[in-house]
Amino acid sequence: MSTDKRKTAKIIVIIVFAVFAVLVAFRIYVNLDANKQRAGRVTQGRAVAVEVNAVGRHDIQPLLSYSANLEPFWTAELSPKVDGRIDALFVDEGDRVAASTVVATLDTDELLPQVTQAEGSVYAARANLEQAELDLKRAVPLAQQGAISAQALDTARIKRDLAVGQLRSAEGTLAQLRARFGNANIVAPRDGVITKRYLQAGTYAKTGTAIVSLADISSMLVKASVGEAEISQLKLGTTATVKVGALGDRPFAGKVTRITPAASLPVRTFTAEVTVPNAEGLLLAGMFARVEVAGDVRKNVVAVPESSLVLREDQKSVYVVMDGNKVQQRILKLGYVGGGWAEVLDGLKEGELIVTGGQNKLRDGATIEQPGGKGE
Averages of pLDDT over each 10 residues, the chain, 376 residues: 65 74 73 58 64 91 90 92 89 92 86 84 92 90 86 90 92 85 86 93 91 94 90 89 92 93 88 93 91 89 92 89 90 89 92 89 85 45
**In this structure, is residue 313 part of a structural domain?**
yes
CATH number at residue 277: 2.40.30.170
Residue after which a domain boundary falls, among 252, 272, 294 = 294
Number of C-alpha atoms within 13 angstroms, CB side, residue 200? 1
Residues 255 and 313 grouped into a single domain:
no
**In this structure, is residue 40 part of a structural domain?**
no
**In this structure, is residue 325 part of a structural domain?**
yes
Residues 256 and 307 grouped into a single domain:
no
**In this structure, is residue 264 part of a structural domain?**
yes
**pLDDT for the residue numbered 102:** 93
| Total domains, the chain | 3
86 and 205 in contact (C-beta within 8 Å)?
A: yes
Residues 362 and 341 grouped into a single domain:
yes
**pLDDT for the residue numbered 376:** 37
Instruction: State pLDDT tens for residues 96-122.
Output: 999 999 999 988 777 778 888 988 999
CATH number at residue 344: 2.40.420.20
**pLDDT for the residue numbered 46:** 67
| Secondary structure of 305-368 in HEC code, one letter for each residue | EHHHCEEECCEEEEEEECHHHEEEEEECEEEEEECCEEEEEECCCCCCEEEEECHHHCCCCCEE
Residue after which a domain boundary falls, among 182, 203, 228 = 182
Instruction: State pLDDT tens for residues 19-77.
Output: 777 777 777 776 766 655 555 544 455 678 888 999 999 998 888 899 999 999 999 99
Distance CA 205, CA 260 (A): 37
Distance CA 63, CA 243 (A): 14
Residues 322 and 272 grouped into a single domain:
no
Domain that holds residue 353: 46-60+298-369
316 and 342 in contact (C-beta within 8 Å)?
A: yes
**pLDDT for the residue numbered 352:** 92
The model scores a pTM over 0.85: no
